[in-house]
Structure 1
Amino acid sequence: MRKEVDRCVKRCRICQVSKGTSTNAGLYMPLPVPSQPWVDINIDFVLGLPRTQRGNDSIFVVVNRFSKMVHFIPCKKTTDAVNVAQLFFRDVYHVHKAVHDNLVRANSKYKQDADKKRRQVDFEVGDFVWAVLTKDRFSVGEYNKLSAKKIGPVEIVEKINSNAYRLQLPSHIRCSDVFNVKHLLPYYGDSSNDDHGAHSRSNFVYPGGDDAGPSVEDRSLAFLKAHDRVTKGASQKWP
């Protein structure tokens, strides 16, 4: 019976015209996520508020969809589109433009002061350099005060920008291959004439590598053992 009623209702023009319910057809389509602030905004109005001494009875709401920052601008219910645009430029656009200009001036002044104690150094892809190893580039337990502080020569394989370079590190070095220019020093030797290649002990010094050699602790222990043997041998000669 129910199927017969549904079929009759679907075919009845009067029933279809009279029924106005919506269906669940159509998948959800979210709004695109903005990539920077104040590029994609939402605006709305809060109406019907008590009138203020200046005659305002509404609020013009501007929401930045990127950071969710909100501007609440008093207005009137009778404010037209031209006045709304003027309010937007006065209370939103000019405010953030002034902030942007102030940031640009502050960055420019800070760069000018900071560069007084700095110098520009440029390397090219294919150059060989010494790379300074900071403490954070060592694995846990490998760093000590007598550890090698530089490795090299290593080749520059990519110039990311004027302050960052990607290096061709040996396989046993377990750290990022991107170095800041302040941690790079020019290599003045001829790496093409190295007899043992790029992974030799004369070129690379780094804890944990295949060519790292004995550590300071191992050398100290060997020295003490040798000293004990010499002391015992000398004591046996005396009656």
Structure 2
Amino acid sequence: MRQRRWLELIKDYDLEIHYHPGKANVVADALSRRAHCNVIEARPTARVICWEMDEIEMPTEQLVELYSLIIEPTIKDLVIAAQKQDPGMAHIREGIDEEKKACFTLDDQGVLWFKNRLVVPKDMELRKKILDEAHTSVLTMHPGSNKMYQDLKQKFWWTRMKREIAKYVSECDVCKRVKADHLKPGGMLQPLNIPAWKWEDVHMDFVVGLPRTQKGYDSIWVIIDRFTKSAHFLPVKTVYRANTPYTARRCRTPLNRSEPGERVTFGPDLVTQAEEQVKFIQNNLKSAQSRQKSYSDKRRRPLAFEKGDHVYLRVSPMKGVHRFGVKGKLAPRYVGPFKITEKCGPVAYRLELPPHLAAVHDVFHVSQLKKCLRVLEEEVDTSQIQIEPDLTYEARPIKILDQKQRSTRRNTVNFYKVQWSDHSEEEATWETEEYLQAKHPGFLPSTSNQYV
């Protein structure tokens, strides 16, 4: 589209278009290209500059040239040095001479290449240095295993390279804590056992927030039999006590009185009919339960751990309707790792939590856990994150760094640059005055032009 617009502009001119390489157009790309300077290039460059200044008759003085350089070997230099010391590289060189290694080549300096990729010897420290540079440096920002492999395979090669990259990424602690999961929830559906008789197992729920009656009732206690789906609705008050005025008795469902003139028969036939009805209901419940389990398991995946494994625990950051603004994606989604002390059921585990998480129940569903493949020697301090008993933590504003106003057609909107708890000043976000007053009343100063 851009070229078409240029054609419409230059179609009225008589001209010839010649291609000029981008790297040759140093004037246009001078600011966008990285400068490379070393001792070898510095001296000729200084002479050229002095000669150009003499051409324009600008006075120059002979000065002493001083250089302060810290020379560190690059990764390429480290790989070349490691090739000379690795005995496995000598075997590959012999294969090249015998024309058995067609994919490997040697350049004029004796450096071994696999096609156009530098061969990395079996030096685990050197490979880890390459992986750290491609994953944890400032310019890479923790890419995934596929993206990281596509980047590294353009420059380097070693055996089982993709497998080592996948293992390295899977053990990254930062990726485990921060990155979102795109997998199905763990843990298959565990349906409840079908009761053998009515009112053996019940479901209970409360309907609250209703208008208060003359007797003071404002809620309804709903009790449902899991077997027959019969329901009882009892009026109650929203008052919780250690004891309850209601007592449950097994197999004590009330009997309906028969109307006058009806004949009720008791005997073996009635018992047989009741047993047949119970079996019929149980078969229907089993069929429906199996069908619903198959539907649910399509959206789940099997996941299990062993006693002694270390796992991460999922937490939910909360800040109104935001997840900490733009940088909310960097908020931790998991904390830990914590050790599994007991398997409480097919999909439930008990964790060994630190003292500052004593208010949190220590038994969790498997869908809230993620396996830790490598336990760090230095544990990450999570005591600064105030985790609530429901596994949520809320970012609270602690400081106003700056403020500004933005005018619209009808009014003026005040913005405040806010620093949040558990975050540095570099992660501060701009929030509107209306949002801060609604979500955090009393935080803003009395006058809008004061800030810390």
Provide the TM-score with structure 1 as the length reference: 0.49
Provide the TM-score with structure 2 as the length reference: 0.28
